[in-house]
Structure 1
């Protein structure tokens, strides 16, 4: 009897993040992130681990909107304290703002977790192409 071996499941799901290409010009949105849930404590470590090293250590994260689950004022990510903030601004309801002292600020558009792949892929591709 032959036994089919299943490949092991990845211990960490693939980060669904696309960054806009850098051409020296300031961008309104630096990329697109498609988290799997609105649980910031679960989603944020993977996002921060997947960012370019040139962005430096992110110390402050601000999410917009009320969709995110309740979060403490800070959390430990990779042995570093990250301050968490929630903004109720209506000007950018689906964004996350990342701050790294001395390095800069990056704004990512958030695709809602329940978005279908068919709807999310064009948004992800537009960010990668710099059209977003």
Structure 2
């Protein structure tokens, strides 16, 4: 992640999930995002990047809406809090080699 101050550029950080199962991967990510956003309301993603998950994900004694859009830039995911603040992440594909993934995440943070 970039620093908590407003970040220049189109993304606030990066994420390297282990699989393409969005519902399985999101809880760990959402736990990390809660520190910056508070309670999470929804996650948006590019439709072609993930197999279609359920539209609702049980999380933190509530439900997070999962919304896929063709208009969302491919390779990105946006986490939106109840306060409407959002963080957009560059998603490094899970099949990326570890060295390449670390470089991509470092590039995003810089």
TM-score of the superposed pair, with normalisation by structure 2: 0.88
Mapped pair 1:114 → 2:109 = no
Indicate how the Cα distance of structure 1 residues 25 and 72 shifts in structure 2: closer, same or farther if over 3 A, else same: closer
CA contact (8 A) 1:56 1:100 kept: yes
Q: Displacement, 1:79?
A: 1.6
Number of equivalenced pairs: 110
Deviation at 1:65, TM superposition (A): 3.4
- Distance in 1 (alpha carbons) for counterparts of 2:7 and 2:101: 26
Shift of the alpha carbon at 1:101? Answer: 2.4
Relative to total residues, which structure has the larger helix share, 1 or 2?
A: 2
**Unaligned segments of structure 2, at least 5 residues:** none
Consecutive unaligned residues in structure 1, runs of 5 or more: 1-18
TM-score w.r.t. length of structure 1? 0.75
CA contact (8 A) 1:65 1:94 kept: no
Q: Which has the larger radius of gyration?
A: 1
The reply to whether residue 49 of structure 1 matches residue 31 of structure 2 is yes
Higher relative contact order (CA 8 A, sep 6+): 2
After TM superposition, what 4+ stretches of structure 1 lie above 3 angstroms from structure 2?
A: 22-27
